[in-house]
Amino acid sequence: MTTLTLCSENGIELGSWEDRTIISDKLAALGIDYQYLPTRDLTDLNPDAVMSQYQDAIDEWQQKGGYQSVDVVSIQADNPKAPELRQKFLDEHIHIEDEVRFFAAGSGVFYLHLNHHVYAVDCTEGDFISVPAGTPHWFDMGEAPYFVAVRLFTNPDGWVAQHTGNPVAANFIDAA
Ligand SMILES: [Fe+2]
């Protein structure tokens, strides 16, 4: 279930919400675009099938955000590189462009470090989130990662993690 959890920087939970309208409103107040799009027929989760299932939504997101390119990334728990992939995004970082994801299947948690608090957005199927360029954040795909996500980029070359050096993520990630 999609959940937004508000925490102090040292990992103490201050509030939690599961209503997507509330989640959307709370994130919008922070400048984060969150939307829910009910998942469609996803018996075929190959990238081309996912792209065509969501083409109308993808067109709209591209137009709205000026995103030039789109792809579909798929991570399975039995991927031998799963621990390495998980580790790659577990430290706080920023990007010079928005990090835009739509979860067609599976889940993952974005941790947004804003206003001296941490907002953990546990994204599940049907969730769209755009983390604005320059927002300190990290992403945990979990110990047994599984997701199929559409990614939108202004410039795929710009989507590089620049680590902030802030150790705050260590207060949130278990068994990493
Ligand atoms: Fe990121």
Give the environment of ion ligand 1: residues with CB less than 5 A.
Answer: 99
Question: What is the residue-wise DSSP string for the chain?
Answer: --EEEEEETTS-EEEEE--HHHHHHHHHTTT-EEEE------S--SHHHHHHHTHHHHHHHHHHHT--EEEEEEE-TT-TTHHHHHHHT-S-EE-SS-EEEEEEEE-EEEEEEETTEEEEEEE-TTEEEEE-TT--EEEE--SS--EEEEEEES-GGG---EE---GGGGGT-S--
CA 168 / ligand 1 centre spacing (Å): 15
CA 161 / ligand 1 centre spacing (Å): 6
Amino acid 171: pLDDT: 95
By the 8 A CB rule, do 100 and 57 touch?
Answer: no
User: Which residue ranges in the chain fall short of pLDDT 70?
Assistant: 158, 174-176
| Spans of all domains in the chain | 3-171
CA 48 / ligand 1 centre spacing (Å): 24
Residue 44 backbone dihedrals phi, psi, to 5 degrees: -115, 115
CA 93 / ligand 1 centre spacing (Å): 6
Angle (CA) 172-168-2 rounded to 5° is 40
- Token pair 């795929």 is found at 156
Query: For the domain 3-171, what is the CATH code?
Result: 2.60.120.10
CA 57 / ligand 1 centre spacing (Å): 22
Helix (H), strand (E) at residue 55? helix 55-65
Residue 4 backbone dihedrals phi, psi, to 5 degrees: -110, 125
CA 90 / ligand 1 centre spacing (Å): 9
Amino acid 121: pLDDT: 98
Amino acid 158: pLDDT: 67
